[in-house]
Chain A
Amino acid sequence: MKILVCIKQVPDMESRFKPNGSGVWFEETDLAFRMNEYDEYAVEQAVRLKEQLGDAHEVTVLSIGPDRVVEAIKKALAMGCDRGVHVQDPAASLKDPWQIAAIIAAYARDKGFDLIFTGMQSQDRGSAQVGVTVAEDLGLPCTTTLVGFAYDNGTITAKRELEGGVKGVVRVKTPALVTCQLGLNVPRYPTLPNIMKAKKKEIEAIPVGDLLREEARTATASFHPPAKKGGGIVLEGEVGALVDQLVGILKDKTAVLR
């Protein structure tokens, strides 16, 4: 079985974001980057599947971006992926989800992957489009927001998270693509011996120009912080009047008492 995991490197979400000079993305200087959280679930699940199936099965991890994304690839290799693919693109943040999906699909098309794992969305752009668009580009069945995963003899049994805490179960035959959600698993820590082993694993570098043939379909118009909130309302006066005022506000301005 050939497995592909697609990962993205994103800024640490505790960073302070500032719009960059062009005003369509954030300033990347001085930010700390790490693997997108949802992609960690994808890597973990792919590695667990390999452990279930045995060493003859291979997990490839792919990431698109500047040189720094190799750190995320190395982490995935230290978690147990077998080989890495770095699609070199210093301007990946300017590409829309359609183009990112097209790059992945162009790489994967003739490789015969039986299963592709992606995160359900990235923590920075959060479009949640890349996984499903790759499936569409490759003509694969796809199931999303996995919180449970089992594989047996060519069939995936996927537990999906639906609205309001409701879960659904989907069965899908490979080849297929799945996107992973919080709750699917607890990703392992890369251990020191595995970090050492990862150093010896191959990372293939491919210039983005070799894979990308698509124009962007969407463009980001602007990137800006939310407007500053005004201060709260302070009610003053007799308790009885205060209660009436408060109930009035809750009725008029919120859904609490409707």
Chain B
Amino acid sequence: MNFELSQDHKVLRDSVRDFVEKEIKPLAIKIDEEHRIPEELIAKMSEMGFMGSYIPEEYEGAGLDMLSYAIVVEEVSKACGSSGVLISAHTSLACDPIYRFGTEEQKKQFLPDLATGRKIGCILLTEPDVGSDVSGMSTMYKREGDEIVINGGKTFITNGGCLGTGILFATHDKSLKHKGISAFIVDLKSPGVTILKNEVKMGIRGSYTTAFAFDDLRIPAANLLGSEGQGFKIAMETLNGGRIGIASQALGIAGGAFDRALAYSKERKQFGAPICDLQAIQFKLADMYSRIEMAKLITYKAAWMKDNKMNFAMESAMCKMCASETATYVTKEAVQIHGGYGYIADYEVERMYRDAKITEIYEGTNEVQRVVISKMLLA
């Protein structure tokens, strides 16, 4: 058994860390305030290869592994949770299903643009009335010759506002429930696609969360991903891998908040000494760090299991649940350690506190994760 990162993973982590420190950290406050990630930063992250970390080199990805991807999302999220989820949703929810379920032609057609960041990917699954229960979806598709025509709407689409490549789920017969659902690869710049709004949110404010309407959106029938009726399976398996991305994002947000809280506790003096001399603060730091390390172990394990082609469904649910709850706990305590300053935007931990909450909700609420875990325990 070996709990140490390989030398290659350490080189990767240090390189990503240097990049994040110089290129992302100085922009994090602005990204939150302006509700957008600058195009130039997306271009720089793309140049670094962050958009295609584990996509094979033949499709212009970096060809690294899942653990490398987890490390990238974690390190980026230490400075900026919005940038972290940009990478995570793009990679896990758009690149991954095309890579796993796409035909060779589809991979060649769509992956190079995605893996190099020329297009940003997203998944279009959630609808206003369809969250955890995917089988009730009402966005409809029908075949017309060589085309698929889609009508309906999607909401809460992470990265949607980038108008890149989307994996869209729709049904051809609502009465078939999950068996009627298929997945399609769509270009969101097509006619028939309308942005209804980009949501204003509590946290990860730099990340687009978009509501779309589809009015006779026509796509080539060749853009069907997998086979007809396979959509539900594609969605579930995609979310499985996505949970490792969200766990990594949560881990990063927690790590970023912890680093700040630790540093602040050494600088801030009250009663004639740094507040880290107080046991009340010391116990907080010990709890925070321990929970981060525990969440990291299960997250890296889930990534390692995916890399080793093992069944990681339970571990991905556990790491998402564990890391997200670590993130909300650690960021809350980081604000507390900062006292009044923690409530002020310049100190950044208040943003991390806001950013952390969504990790307990999206890509399967933590209640759904508990259902997944307990079902597997009782199967």
Binding site for B on A (CB under 8 A): 34, 68, 70-71, 74-75, 78, 189-196, 198-199
Contact = CB atoms under 8 A, between A and B. Distances in A.
B8 A191 contact: no
Contacts of B63: 193, 196
A193 B14 contact: no
A193 B62 CA distance: 4
Contacts of A192: 12, 48-50, 52-53, 62, 64, 68, 72
Interface string B32-51: 00000000000000011110
Nearest to A189: B19
Contacts of A34: 14
Q: How large is the interface on B (under 10, 10 to 19, 20 to 34, 35 or more residues)?
A: 20 to 34
Given A196-B57, A196-B62, A196-B64, A191 B11 contact: no
B7 interface: yes
B113 to A, nearest CB: 16
30 contacts: A68-B7, A70-B7, A74-B7, A74-B8, A75-B14, A75-B15, A78-B15, A189-B15, A189-B48, A190-B15, A191-B15, A191-B47, A191-B48, A191-B49, A191-B62, A192-B48, A192-B52, A192-B62, A193-B61, A193-B63, A194-B49, A195-B8, A195-B11, A195-B15, A195-B49, A196-B57, A196-B62, A196-B63, A198-B11, A199-B8
A71 B7 contact: yes
B10 A195 contact: no
B215 interface: no
Q: With a 10 A CB-CB cut-off, give which of A71, A78, A196 has the most chain B CB atoms.
A: A196
Interface of B: 7-8, 10-12, 14-15, 18-19, 47-50, 52-53, 57, 61-64, 68, 72
Contacts of B61: 193
Contacts of A70: 7
Contacts of B68: 192
A189 B10 CA distance: 14
A191 B18 CA distance: 11
Contacts of B47: 191
A71 B10 contact: yes
A71 B7 CA distance: 6
Given A189-B18, A189-B19, A195 B12 contact: yes
A189 B11 CA distance: 11
